[in-house]
Amino acid sequence: MYLVLVNYLKPLSVIDALLPAHREFLEANYRSGLFMVSGPREPRTGGVILARAGSREELAKVLEQDPFVREGAASCEIIEFKATRAGKALAILLDGEC
């Protein structure tokens, strides 16, 4: 499992202009099953994505297609982790190991 920290590099006016295309990018990756949860950070300095990918490289290739990244408006930090505990609402995210 991967936690992606999106960090804005350009002003919010640029981010807002790219937001419709970014949302389409997110939706496509939700449909494919790659993205599980996402949302903006508070304060609005970037975003967070929880993803399940076959590899870091696979996820990095997908993130390169994000309009924010393509336009140099944001960078992404990929953090890999193994989920070993979750509350009932998120237990489906575990790989059967607690």
Counting residues of the chain whose pLDDT is more than 70, the rounded percentage is 94
Look at residue 62 and give its three-state secondary structure.
helix
Q: Which two tokens stand for residue 88?
A: 């009932």
pLDDT digit string, tens, across residues 25-68: 999 999 999 999 999 999 999 999 999 999 999 999 999 999 99
Q: Which of 1, 96, 4 is nearest to 49 (CA)?
A: 4
* Domain spans, the chain: 2-93
Q: Which fold has domain 2-93?
A: Alpha-Beta Plaits (3.30.70)
Q: What average pLDDT does range 5-16 have in this prediction?
A: 98
User: Whole-prediction pTM value?
Assistant: 0.89
Q: Which two tokens stand for residue 65?
A: 């297609």
8 A C-beta contact, residue 34 and residue 26: no
